Structure 1
Amino acid sequence: MIPVPVKFLILAVLVFSVGYVHLRGRVRHKLPRQLTDHSSFLAPLNTLLYLTSSVPNKPYLSPDDFPEMKRFQDNWETIREEALALFQAGEIKRSDTYNDAGFNSFFKSGWKRFYLKWYGGDSHPSASKLCPKTTALLQEVGSVKAAMFTLMPAHSKLVRHRDPYAGSLRYHLGLSTPNDPGCFISVDGQTYAWKDGEAVVFDETYIHHVENTTDQDRLIFFCDMERPLKYGWATALNRWFSRTVMAAASSPNDAGDRTGGVNRAFKYLYWLRLQGKAMKRRSRNLYYTLKWGTLGSLFGMFLLS
């Protein structure tokens, strides 16, 4: 059995960290939503990363504070050329199956992607073959843990959400964009509109949403950079989590690319999610009774263990 003082310590850490994540920004989910949001399950780790961060905890950061990333902006036209060639060849696309847990919910909006690299690994073989200049640039910047090209079609949007993992910061470089205020991202209530050749850095664990109200698609270069931390032990922990847990969410462009364990299991997990959605449509009361009853039972088992 787990000693009672240890149980209360674990519970206190969980309550503090979920509260910290929830109250951190100006834009917040409603509390019931926050309690079951994926950011709550990673809240203890994320709170540790926030508290040891060597960069300010705020929605947007200056790209000038990350000089190694300037290599991409200096070569943005080369990157755009390869991205447009991929788009014209139909390679920037949604997944054909349930093997992209991280971005599956985006596909219904028309959002598309082509992976260049993912946590814990080198460039995808398909990316090295189809966009060698961009992948060569990525090899020169060790702080980039994941990268892709993403396309958001005209007259589409991504709803409010926060990404689950605070060990990275998000970098966007406009490649072929509307260059219009109607195509924007709002991070914790602060809006930025993409422009060709311009970079933006933001903390993706703040609640954000995206809209493209224009008649033109938006194509960008999208990277996850390692969050700079104050202490070596915190950096070591973050890198371990990155190359083990985050690497398990690797998604392929084609059959020659690696699929991580999370995405190999995702089709089965998503089947369960579909059953839950069907139940919710039939009876919201039954759905929420079972949902909160299950969570309460797990909590009770922890207290009694």
Structure 2
Amino acid sequence: MADWLPPTRYWVLAIFIASALYAHFRGRVRFKLARALTDFTVLISPINAVMYLFSRAPATPYLNTAEFPELKLLRDNWRLIREEALKLNDEGYIKAASGYNDIGFNSFFRTGWKRFYLKWYDRDMASANALCPKTVELLKQIPGVKAAMFASLPPGAKLVRHRDPYAGSLRYHLGLTTPNDPGCYIEVDGQRYHWKDGEDVMFDETFIHYAENTTTHQRVILFCDVERPVYFAPIRWLNRAFGKLVMTSAATQNLESEPIGGLNKFFYHAYKVRLFFKAFKARSRTGYYVVKWALILGILAAIFL
């Protein structure tokens, strides 16, 4: 590289910062800039930026489900899917994780959210095959559905504001048994939608969103991650490779007899460190932020100076 050009490591740093800022300013609703630049999602922000830049889906919070005709199969069979979901719900299978082994949704369990996985990227869910075979068979007919689950939001439960980390998919919800009431809703980038039985909705889960059930009735939906449509085959291959190598490793279990992916095995131990720092923050908020920023700046200095 020419002597007058900055070292490669500075270009790498610039790419990560630019990608994180791109995601930060993409929606109308934003977290504070400091959070946007220190959140763990910065680690995959360059890949997300590629997904955004080459996305065939519009950069809007909600998308038209008619643009995904393959999902009509699910909508047309929503009563059949609901029947299996309600049976699982009545038998207690739709539940929170048994421990710190669900990295993607760990924070949701504290506020009442529950789930039962139907598929997760390349990981086969034996419990789903046995307990809800009709729904699983429908999902197998739609290759674009990369992950799926039954998700419950009981009365009084809520999901705090968040954005999902990976932009390689779009989120699909199909109402199965819902309050059919504006009091049970999701808000994506400031735009609110409330679930209805048999009605579906598609949104971009990398916009900031949250959900709440203020009614006295449980909400159960079919929840799917659908592959983001992109221009150019190499971008599609990149997305699928990331899903195979990284997202599959975030697989968890419905039953304790099922295997856990490598990323969740790591998360089990890493979260114990997080619990230590959460306790430290509760004792000394100032001390916590001093240590946090010292660690961040120390790591950056070690890499880039």
Which TM-score tier does this pair reach, normalised by the shorter chain? over 0.9
Q: Partner residue of 2:212? A: 211
Asked if 1:39 corresponds to 2:15, the answer is no
Check conservation: 1:21, 1:40, Cα contact below 8 A: no
Q: 1:110 aligns with which of 109, 112, 129?
A: 112
Q: Partner residue of 1:227? A: 228
Give matches, 1:47-196, under 5 Å: 47-122=49-124, 124-196=125-197
TM-score, normalised with respect to structure 2:
0.97
Unmatched tracts of structure 1, length 5 or more: none
* Greater Cα shift, 150-159 or 3-12: 3-12
Rounded Cα–Cα distance in structure 1 between residues aligned with 2:40 and 2:200: 28
Q: 2:21 aligns with which of 16, 19, 22?
A: 19
Check conservation: 1:125, 1:256, Cα contact below 8 A: no
* Greater Cα shift, 164-173 or 150-159: 150-159
State the 1:42 CA deviation.
1.7
TM-score, normalised with respect to structure 1:
0.97
Q: Partner amino acid for 1:164?
A: P
Percent identical pairs in the alignment equals 53
Rounded Cα–Cα distance in structure 2 between residues aligned with 1:17 and 1:266: 25
Q: Partner amino acid for 2:98?
A: D
State the 1:274 CA deviation.
0.5
Asked if 1:257 corresponds to 2:258, the answer is yes
Query: How many aligned residue pairs are there?
Result: 301
Q: Partner amino acid for 2:242?
A: F
Residues 31-76 of structure 1 show CA distances to partners (whole Å, capped at 9, x for unaligned) of 1221222332221110110000011111000010000011000000
SS of 2:59's equivalent in the other structure is coil
Rounded Cα–Cα distance in structure 1 between residues aligned with 2:150 and 2:186: 16
Unmatched tracts of structure 2, length 5 or more: none
State the 1:102 CA deviation.
1.0
Rounded Cα–Cα distance in structure 2 between residues aligned with 1:42 and 1:58: 21
Rounded Cα–Cα distance in structure 1 between residues aligned with 2:14 and 2:266: 32
Q: 1:9 aligns with which of 8, 11, 21?
A: 11
Check conservation: 2:173, 2:201, Cα contact below 8 A: yes
Moved over 3 A (4+): none
State the 1:4 CA deviation.
4.6
Rounded Cα–Cα distance in structure 2 between residues aligned with 1:17 and 1:263: 26
Give the aligned CA root-mean-square deviation in angstroms.
1.1
Q: Partner residue of 2:288? A: 287
Residues 121-154 of structure 1 show CA distances to partners (whole Å, capped at 9, x for unaligned) of 33x0000000000000011000000000000011
SS of 1:42's equivalent in the other structure is helix
Rounded Cα–Cα distance in structure 2 between residues aligned with 1:266 and 1:22: 25
